[in-house]
Amino acid sequence: MGSYVLRRLLQMIPVIIGATFLIFAMVFGIGDPAAGRCGERACPEAFLVQFRQEYNLDEPLIVQYGLYMAKLLTGDFGESFSGLSVAEELINRWPTTIRLAVIAVCFEALVGIAAGILAALRKGRFLDYLVTLSSLLVISIPVFVVGSLSQLVFGIRLGIFPVTATEGGWFDLLLPGLVLGSFSVAYIARLMRSTMIENLRSDYVRTARAKGLGPGRTVGVHTLRNSMIPAITYIGYDLGALMGGAVVTERIFNINGIGGFLFYGINTKDGTIVVGTVTCLVLVYLLANLLVDVLYGVLDPRISHD
């Protein structure tokens, strides 16, 4: 197990290098990074010289990238064009994003799994149709529609939740968290339902019944444990993705999280913010993936990591 984790960590290095180089090349290698820096006017020559020097723009791209990564490894994420320390900003914003992700993931896990189980046990009846149809509806509506609508209905019309979550407290983030988790709730409910239905028909569940076990044990122990595996792994991946912030949701509810920061960086054409944030996202996502793969081995004894 230990050697597996080590091997996986080593495998991450080329992935990180590849991903960061791609984003770096797209941000700094394509077009003129200084374009539009000075509003409508052309930039003064003195500014351009200083700008080029600061970001090593006169060097070849690969050297620029190398210099950037060398600084990154010492924890220096550089400064944004407006003078913010990117590292500091990321550290300040992360707790909000984590809170948001935790709300979304708890919602997904509790509601999604429960709905899936109920639908599977009531297959072909009202509750099943309710779950499958409503989840299909949620899956097919994009998150910005769900977000804006719920902001309008629950925030403005009904006034139950704050309209924006600029402060980033737990209660403020509740509605954005539910919006953020809505797609995955629907997906997990469907996933759980189909695995559960499949497992209820399996030979080992028939064995459980032949052993004279009651419905509680047959479903609760012998079916559930196996059926949870796909849902739990999906939730793990999702946690990784959400930890990296939710650009659209954070934007709608004006949340000062990682996603909002990335959005700000893209909007102001600030390469330092974009590359620094994306590097962190890649790292978090890869670690979440590793965690899920390790967890998979724990949940399913047939998967061996040796």
Partner 1 sequence: MSDTLSETDVARGESSWTPTDGRLLDVEDLQVEFRTRDGVAKAINGVSLHLDEGETLAVLGESGSGKSVTAQAIMGILDTPPGFITGGSVRYCGTELLTMTEKQRREIRGPEISMIFQDALSSLNPVFPVGWQIAEMLRVHRGANRSDAREAAIRLMERVNIPGARQRVNAFPHQFSGGMRQRIMIAMAIALDPAVLIADEPTTALDVTVQAQIMALLAELQEERRMGLILITHDLGVVADVADRIAVMYAGKLVETADVHSIYAAPAHPYTQGLLASIPRLDQKGQELAAIGGLPPNLTRIPPGCPFNPRCRYAQDVCRHDPPPALREVRPGRRAACHFAEDVLADSAREFDHPHHVHGDGGEERR
Residue numbers at the binding site for partner 1 (CB under 8 A): 201-204, 206-214, 217, 222, 225-226, 299-302
- Which one, 137 or 221, has the nearer CB to partner 1? 221
- Smallest distance from partner 1 to CB 207, Å: 5
Distances (CA, A) of 105 to 14, 182, 214, 287, 291: 29, 10, 32, 17, 15
CB of 203 to partner 1, least distance (A): 4
If the CB atoms of residues 71 and 206 are measured against partner 1, the closer one turns out to be 206
AA letter at 174: L
CB of 120 to partner 1, least distance (A): 15
> What span, in angstroms and rounded, lies between the C-alpha atoms of 102 and 152?
23
Identity of the residue, 222 or 251, whose beta carbon is nearer to partner 1 in the bound complex: 222
User: Closest approach of Cβ 99 to partner 1, in Å?
Assistant: 33
Considering the complex, what minimum distance in angstroms separates the CB of residue 206 from partner 1?
A: 6
- Choose between 52 and 209: whose C-beta lies nearer to partner 1: 209
| Measured distance CA(27)–CA(95) in Å, rounded | 27
C-beta neighbour count of 274 within 10 angstroms: 24
Nearest CB to partner 1, comparing residues 171 and 204: 204
Q: What are phi and psi of 85, to 5 degrees?
A: -80, 120
User: Which CB atom, from 93 or from 222, has the smaller least distance to partner 1?
Assistant: 222
Least CB distance from residue 208 to partner 1, whole Å?
Answer: 7
Q: Spell out the long-range contacts of 277-284 with Cβ–Cβ below 8 A and sequence spacing 24 or more.
A: 277/86, 277/90, 277/245, 278/19, 278/20, 278/23, 279/16, 279/19, 279/20, 279/23, 279/72, 280/90, 280/244, 281/244, 281/245, 282/15, 282/16, 282/19, 282/20, 283/16, 284/240, 284/243, 284/244
Closer residue to partner 1, CB minimum distance, 202 or 268: 202
Rg (CA), the chain: 24
Q: Which is nearer to partner 1, 48 or 224 (CB)?
A: 224
Q: How far is the CB of 212 from partner 1 (least distance, A)?
A: 3
How many CA atoms lie within 13 Å of 118's alpha carbon, on the beta-carbon side? 14
3-state secondary structure of 85: strand
The least distance separating partner 1 from the CB of residue 114, rounded to whole angstroms, comes to 21
Contact in structure between 219 and 289 (CB atoms under 8 Å): no
- For residues 304 and 300, what is the distance between their CA atoms, to the nearest angstrom? 9
